Structure 1
Amino acid sequence: MAYNLESLVQILDQILHPDHHHPLYVLDSDKKEQIENLLQRTRFLKHFTENSSSAVTNSVYGQQSLESRIRDAAHDAEDVLESRLVDQILSCSEGESFIFSPPDLGKIIEQLDLAKAEMMIIMDYTQKGDTSSAAVSSSRQDPNPKNIIVGVGEDLIQLKDRLIGQASKALQVIPIVGMGGIGKTTLARNLYDDPSVTSHFDTFAWATISQDYNKQKLRDVLLSLLEYDVWDVKPWDDMRRFFPDDNNGSRIIVTTRESSVADYTGSGSSHHQMDLLKDDDSWNLLRQKVFAPEETCSPELENVGKKIAKDCRGLPLAIHVIGGILSQAETNQDFWEQVSDNVSSTVADKDEHFSNILSLSYNHLPNHLKPCFLYMGAFPEDYEIRSSRLINLLVAEGLVRPISDKSLEEAAKMHLKALVDRNLIFVSQQGTNGNAKSYSIHDLLRDLCVRRACEEKFLFIHGGASHDLARSTSCLRRVCSHGPFSFDDAYISPEQSCLARSLLLFKDIKGITGLYLMLSKLRLLRVLDLLQTRLKEFRKEILQLVNLRYLAFNISRPLPSSISTLCNLQTLIAKYGGNFITLAMLKGAVICGIVDMPQLRHIKFKEGTYVRYHDERSRNRFVVLDNLQTLSPIAISEISDRVLEALPNLEKLGIFWDREVDDVRDLSRLHKLHTLKCMSSMLKKVNFSSNLIFPPSIKKLTLRCFQLLDDHMNEIGKLPNLETLKLRGCDFLSRKWEANDGEFCQLQFLLLEQLMGLINWAADDTNFPRLKHLVIRRCPDLEEIPLAIGDIPTLKVIEVDNISHSAVASAREIQEAQLDIGNDDLQVRILGY
């Protein structure tokens, strides 16, 4: 059941238990019993659907399944409750509380009672002997979370030879060709990460171009690779300029489903064709996905497993997905045979067969994970989704099932990890702490995701390959536009659009006037993402959206204090026009309304903008924001003891140095703070203040555009839990950095980027005993990387880019010294030469 009733439970619970610190309303006592009855029935059905087999919820009565009738009744309840709430909030004066009187909910309660009764009857007939639900509820972890490749040894040998073994110095383009899901990208990634390949080339880069290809997208990809600010020429022509046939041994690998590769290679090159796996390799891959190396597979399970693997017809993606199902279940022969029957029953044409196999992964998902998976369809093809953005969206949508002793954000992370363990989504970027930084989804699984999301009235997708499918749905609760969008499309009725809860625009909208007209109708919106549309001002149409939980926008002017009208807002993301220097130096984000927004969980400003208040009155009026976890950035001039006391649960903080500071800023009271970013202006770098007292909880610290002294680094080195340190655009006034014994005892990742004045760096393995990854970029003054760094036993990667020749020589010396003592695990990547 894609709609897991969690959203309705949260709405009813909030109505019954409003924030007692900042009460917006008081529930009409005459209506309390009806709300409690509805909540009781909703929780019962939620528990029942989460713990019953799909045969129950998919049973059909008349023309509509039980699942869809429960969903529609829940939608109706949300609509009437939130409509009444919005009406009453807008009719009250700012800051005035009111008595909330919900409409009569008798018909909705009656609908849910009928659904409950039918569910009980059906369950008596269908649940006996059904072990599928129990089998897949196991919490077994995927024993092989990394990409496993089987049966492609010969492919690796041949491609390695073409990359580094052939004598030819001419430019070569090497297309890897094969059907979707066969493992082209996995094979290319293994080649890309292979030390023997990376050490052969001076420069290497990775990029993804979607199937929905055009020259603009190619331009964007090349820009991201080359980090250019201006591009004036035709993309294909300029691509040849950056990959010239200059007898320098350049190689380009392209993965494509197309057998015709002339566009990539020209007439003189050949492609590498990938074939489907043989039966033995298929079983070997499935076995490795399901069982840990120390586990054994019984003969009974092996017989069933080989049949399952064979029915996957050699497609690695299908095997990975089925392996994800089996790895999450107990090793139960009955369940394996049930999966085998489902796989073999889909014998049809090839495309439909694989589609049906992948559908099994969705059908076997626990109920609370289904909406999280379907939500991936909201994003365009090949879109890399930032972890923080996805998590905040899932929370705002009400799709996250609470977990005891966990925040909703932590619960969302666990939901996404469960999807990764099942091979339904994958982590495309890992952060320095090992956590997921961004997620992606395979295009075949995205096709499944989009199809099911539209069928189940979960998403309305406008534009792109899913546009025609979107026309068939009659529900616009979540609208996602992958192309220029307008609600004037003939197949969208006003009645449908006025009930929309989400609007995510990945392209600019058709006309700014039409945008405001449209927003005036979308009065129940919970999520509004307009980062791709430049707004001139914060108009009243946005201020009327008092049901918003998530708001992201791009604007030219500062935020007004009236933003506090958005009393339910949880996440606020603002991007300002102009560049970092101008905004940071001249205005910042002048705002005071956030002091009256107690539901806020995350405040993020982009493009160097920072929080500043209008006047002393707003600063002194700062109330306790118990829910606030992220605030980035705020001017250091605004940080006072009173402000810090108001942020007891802050986890991520950004601070902008709008002036030099002499008095102490004591952050030690922020006991939950684990991520801190400090920055000043690139035009006028300030001396990093030694009067800043860090909390010992800090795990990740970023310093940007400061003047640093050796003493500053020694103080930072004493932080007991620091795991990640990034220094960007800083000037070392003392010209040196000499680490002391026992410093940086937990540091795992160190980035030194665009540092000026740092000439001498003295350190050894006693200073960074747990360092895993060292990155040095654009540090022209650094004469040498400390040779003793190579002796750190945990160090895996040293990456250098555009540094002095002597520093590059020291990096090579470190690598050679480690190879001499048998340490071939250390990778030294030298770029820019």
Structure 2
Amino acid sequence: MAYNLQPLITILEGILDPGQPRWVVDENNPHLQSLLDKATSLQQLLDKSSLTKLDTQIREVAHRAEDIIESHMVDRMLSGSDCVIFTLSTPDLQQVTRDLDSLMEQAGKLVEMECKNMQRELDSAMEQVKLVEMEDKKMLSSSSSSSKSAVVVGIHEDLTQLKDRLTSMEKKREIVPIVGMGEIGKITLARKLYEDPLIVGHFDYRAWTTVSQDYNMRKILLNLLSCIIGKEECDQHMQKETHELKDVLRKNLFGRKYLIVLDDMWSTKFWDEMRMYFPDNNNGSRIVFTTRESDVANYADSSRSQHQVQLLSESESWNLLRQLVFGEEDCSPELQEIGEKISGVCGGLPLAISVIGGLLSKMERSKDVWKKLGDNVIAAISESDERCYSILSLSYNHLPNHLKPCFLYMGAYPEDYVIKGSRLVRLWVAEGFVKSNGERSLEEEAEDWLKSLVERNLFMVRNYKVNGKPMCYSMHDMLRDICIRKCGEDKFWYVKNGPKVTFSNPRRVSLDISNGMDDINGSTESVSLTRSVICIGRGRIEFPYGAFSTSRLLRVLDFTDMWFSEFPTEIFEFVNLRFLCVYCNSNIPRGISRLWNLQTLITNRHFDVPSELWQLSELRYLKVYGIELLKDEEMNYSVLKNLQMISARVAEDATTYLDGFLESIPNIKKLEIGYNLQVTSTVIDLSHLRKLEIFRCSYWRVLPFIEHYLYCHFKVIFPCNIKKLHLFRCGLHLEMLRSFSTLLKLEVLKLSGCIFISEENTSEEEENTSEEVWEVAEEDVFCSLQFLYLEGLDLVRWIADETNFPRLRHLRLYFCYNLEEIPNGIGEIPTLQLIEVEECTKSIVTSAERIVEEQSENGNYDLKLRISHTRDW
């Protein structure tokens, strides 16, 4: 790739920023500013061209500069001073500056030659990409709908046939194999089937896992159990042996109608090992698996025919490409002629067509640009037998420079790994990939980059939030193969248990330690210049003594889904860290303030957090569940201007210090506050937090030997930008409920275990005198609300109609044992897609069924109803 100098630029800008309190740069030392100017100029030159010939030289010079500067920074930080004078002026740094000068000169000449050698069309196309992306940033809400309704061509008949097989009257457990060559669309078909509303409502349990050639049985079992019993309960079985996990799976499936999807099954050995743990309950359970091998399908069940997925025809191929590029718009005859040639050489492979479509959708719709790309596609295929790899590589090669490292970052994760987009964004920021752009935050910029990778069909959206926006992402296995190859070529990741690599002292290390950490020290012998370590595995382990002890320049240390008995204090030596994720059974010890540069801290519940945490001025994301607000009246909260998320617990006698805490987080976007005492008169004023979008407040203290929970009663003054609101075990004044309708951007409202009270009832017995009625007045309109969740409320009557919730998409009722019925007018909401009823009375179920039936009679077949575990109260 054209090497990205942004990490070096980010480091230099951080040191030279006059607003930062840590570093004092000697005014007589001009080398840092000179280095920043040259790196910025070279990056701008690279961004304007497709130049790759100087990649190796640029990477080596940039890495050398980072090593010199960050080594000096670490030495200074470990000295213990709160404010350090940056005095670095070495011959090595001066040589780096001269090297950048030389590279600038060479790059300028090569770019000039590139223009003269008839590459103007490609440059024009790349400029068009940038223009389109700038326009995309102005479109605030198009991503979720466009991503979720991905274009699917040629599988409608397959879906119909498979849905019929899964929902047939046959009671015997049935095996349904989906067979086809690689990249033909088996996963897409299986995923569409798995997520179809008809299928979702037909089975008690659904579970999806990927098998693959070199499968890990323990990992597969944990994946299946996570889907069936939930991750929290699944974690309780982490210490069990594989044979014990199999028994847990069988017991949970026994007596239930289930759907299991086994993706990418290669051998009969796996089926032999697992078949007895999928019980035949004679209730219509189904097992779907995808495979390239017909023999595997026949072995699993030879009594029924396998479902063969065919290549797309030429007309289907062009239809898919046309829809990806033009949507509902018309395509000119001259572009159609070129487009049909491009789709034709893709060999009917949907993935190849989708990726090329994503690339064309970002380019200028001109004959010259399309012809240039078409020639490249045809040439790549004719020069290589690896048809699909050649096509997909073209899409990577045409990525803008700033997106290439973001694409390659997925190479750290195993096949079919699903990761939250918010986590990817924070990792990219910690790596220094993201450039500040005016008033927009780094995270907002990175979210647009993530959206762009999805639009180019390089990332897949795997899960959505309740408001319909993308939440989790993965990468197709063929694209991951390309990603891994490119990582090796560009020395981007060393992947333990991945392909063999020959480079030493890798910049980034990914370790899959699902089977333990016995060899972790052997994997980290030559990592003195490594910046990122991501360890992927599940289980409770001990932090290996001396692990990464030479990696003093680490920026990212991510232990995903792993648990330590003690907080590893060795981490406090990694003073260059920007991102730290570690879960353990102990409190965070003193010493955390040594991590000056820390931006993201993710760990589990800690009720004794040292006050020095507030000295970490660079913090952007703090997920330390239940931080106790400090009660020391002399404690002054430092202003954390970059902090965007925090979860805090208000201990007894600490409510008077809440205002000071809120004033210290002026740019917070997500705030969680939990009380462990009964509050009856607190006013939480959030009006000054103008960037706040998500707020959760809860009262979670449960006293022993009492029949009733206590509740937290308070009033909240909200800012206007609130999008998501979750109140748990709170007393709700009707006036506050009415105020929610004034939040014009509110998309998600969750009320869990709350009681409804009147203004005059504020005593300790108010739960016994609650009004039990929520009457939504005609003028109270929740104009943006898309998801409404009501759980465990004391509500008896709910009075509302379609005008109160004009954009509601999803209504979920859980354990509402007093509620008489759902307002009939709710069914008239034109956007409503799903009503979920779980652990509720039969009267609620009856009202929900009546609503759906009436809508069906009126021609509205889009409204779905999902019912589970009805109570006969």
Q: Could you tell me the TM-score, scaled by structure 1's length?
A: 0.89
**Residue 326 of structure 1 pairs with residue 326 of structure 2:** no
CA contact (8 A) 1:531 1:553 kept: yes
Determine the C-alpha separation between the residues in 2 that align with 1:628 and 1:492: 32
Query: CA–CA distance in 1 between the matches of 2:146 and 2:732?
Result: 44
Q: Distance in 2 between matches of 1:513 and 1:405?
A: 41
Distance 1:2 1:809, change over 3 A: farther
- 1:671 corresponding residue in structure 2: 690
* Distance (Å, rounded) in 2 between the aligned partners of 1:35 and 1:701: 46
Measured in 2, the distance between the counterparts of 1:431 and 1:313 equals 35
In 2 relative to 1, CA 392–16 (structure 1 residues): closer, same or farther, beyond 3 Å?
same
In the TM superposition, residue 622 of structure 1 has moved relative to its aligned partner by 1.1
Q: Which letter maps to 1:117? A: E
Aligned equivalents of 1:398 and 1:487: distance in 2? 30
Matches within 5 A, 1:714-753: 714-730=738-754, 733=767, 734=770, 735-752=772-789
Matched to 2:182, the amino acid is: G
How many residues matched? 796
**Correspondence for 1:177:** 179
Match of 2:666 in 1: 648
Amino acid at match of 1:790: G
Q: 1:513 to 1:253 in 2, by over 3 A?
A: closer
Match of 2:152 in 1: 149
Aligned Cα root-mean-square deviation (Å) = 2.8
Partner of 1:580 in structure 2?
none
Separation in structure 2 between the aligned mates of residue 696 and residue 390 of structure 1, nearest angstrom: 28
- The alignment partner of 1:648 has SS state of coil
Equivalent AA in structure 2 for residue 687 of structure 1: Y
Alignment match of 2:391 (pick from 357, 378, 381): 357
Cα shift at 1:756: 4.8
Partner SS for 1:683:
coil
- Of residues 73-82 and 9-18 in structure 1, the stretch that sits farther from structure 2 once superposed is 9-18
Cα deviation digits, residues 350-386 of structure 1 (max 9, x gap): 9721111111110000011000100011122211111
1:626 is the counterpart of 2:650: no
- Which piece of structure 1 moves more, 244-253 or 589-598? 244-253
2:381 to 347, 353, 359: 347
CA distance in 2, matches of 1:25, 1:755: 53
Aligned 8 A contact 1:397 1:526 in 2: yes
Task: Give 1:695's aligned residue.
Answer: 719
Instruction: Return closer, same or farther for 1:187/1:538 CA change in 2, 3 Å cut-off.
Output: closer
Aligned residue number for residue 795 of structure 2: 758
Alignment of 1:568-579 (within 5 A): 568-576=597-605
Check 1:202–1:35 CA distance in 2 against 1; reply closer, same or farther (3 A cut). Answer: closer
CA 1:263 to 1:754, structure 2 compared with 1: closer, same or farther past 3 Å?
Answer: farther
In 2, distance between residues paired with 1:511 and 1:557? Answer: 14
The answer as to whether partners of 1:752 and 1:779 remain within 8 angstroms in 2 is: no
**1: distance between equivalents of 2:587 and 2:630?**
11
1:103 aligns with 2:90: yes
Task: Give the 3-state SS of the residue equivalent to 1:347 in structure 2.
Answer: helix
- Which runs of no fewer than 5 residues in structure 2 stay unpaired? 137-142, 238-243, 259-278, 704-708, 757-766
Question: More displaced, 386-395 or 141-150?
Answer: 141-150
CA distance in structure 2 between the partners assigned to 1:144 and 1:623 by the alignment: 42
**2:632 is aligned with 1:612:** no
Counterpart Cα distance in 2 of 1:532 and 1:134: 45
**Residue 138 (structure 2) pairs with residue 135 (structure 1):** no
| Aligned residue number for residue 208 of structure 1 | 209
76, 81, 88: which one aligns with 2:76: 88
Tell me the distance in 2 between the aligned counterparts of 1:614 and 1:786: 46
Task: Return the match for 1:336 from 353, 370, 386.
Answer: 370
SS at match of 2:537: coil
1:42 CA displacement: 0.5
% of aligned pairs identical?
41
One of 328, 343, 358 as aligned partner of 1:309: 343
Shift in alpha-carbon separation, 1:246–1:350, aligned structure 2, 3 A: farther
Q: 1:25 aligns with which of 16, 23, 26?
A: 23
Aligned to 1:549: 578
Aligned amino acid, residue 828 of structure 1: L
Distance 1:240 1:552, change over 3 A: closer
Distance 1:233 1:405, change over 3 A: closer
Question: What is the rounded CA distance, in whole Å, between the counterparts of 1:707 and 1:210 in structure 2?
Answer: 48
Cα 1:220/1:349, change in 2 over 3 Å = farther
* Distance of 1:204 and 1:490 partners within structure 2: 42
Give the Cα separation in 1 of the matches to 2:89 and 2:613.
28
Distance 1:561 1:240, change over 3 A: closer
Closer, same or farther in 2 for the Cα pair 1:48/1:195, shift >3 Å? Answer: same
- For residues 778 and 546 of structure 2, the distance between their equivalents in structure 1, rounded to whole angstroms, comes to 64
Once the two structures are TM-superposed, the CA of residue 245 in structure 1 deviates from its matched residue by 3.7
Mapped to 1, the partners of 2:154 and 2:503 lie a distance apart of 42
For residues 416 and 648 of structure 2, what CA distance do their matches in structure 1 show?
Answer: 30
Residues 1:281 and 2:322 aligned together = no
Contact kept, 8 Å, 2:578 with 2:598, in 1: the verdict is yes
Counterparts in 2 of 1:633 and 1:125: CA distance versus 1, 3 Å: same
**Aligned residues of 1:787 and 1:810 also touching (Cα < 8 A):** yes
Change (3 A) 1:172 1:389: same
**Match among 540, 551, 566 for residue 522 of structure 1:** 551
Offset at residue 708 of structure 1 (A): 4.7
Contact 1:427 1:440 (C-alpha < 8 Å) held by counterparts: yes
Task: Name the counterpart of 1:579.
Answer: none
Which structure 1 residue ranges, 5 or more long, are not aligned? 60-65, 577-582
Q: How much does 1:767 deviate?
A: 2.3
Judge conservation of contact 1:626–1:649 (CA < 8 Å) in 2. Answer: yes
TM-superposed CA distance for 1:632, in Å, is: 1.5
- Of the structure 1 ranges 342-351 and 316-325, higher mean CA displacement relative to structure 2 is found in 342-351
Partner of 2:291: 256
Report the Cα offset of residue 592 of structure 1: 0.7
Q: 1:298 to 1:564 in 2, by over 3 A?
A: same
SS of 2:816's equivalent in the other structure is coil
**Letter of the aligned partner of 2:16 in structure 1?**
L
- Residue 690 of structure 1: SS of its match in structure 2? strand
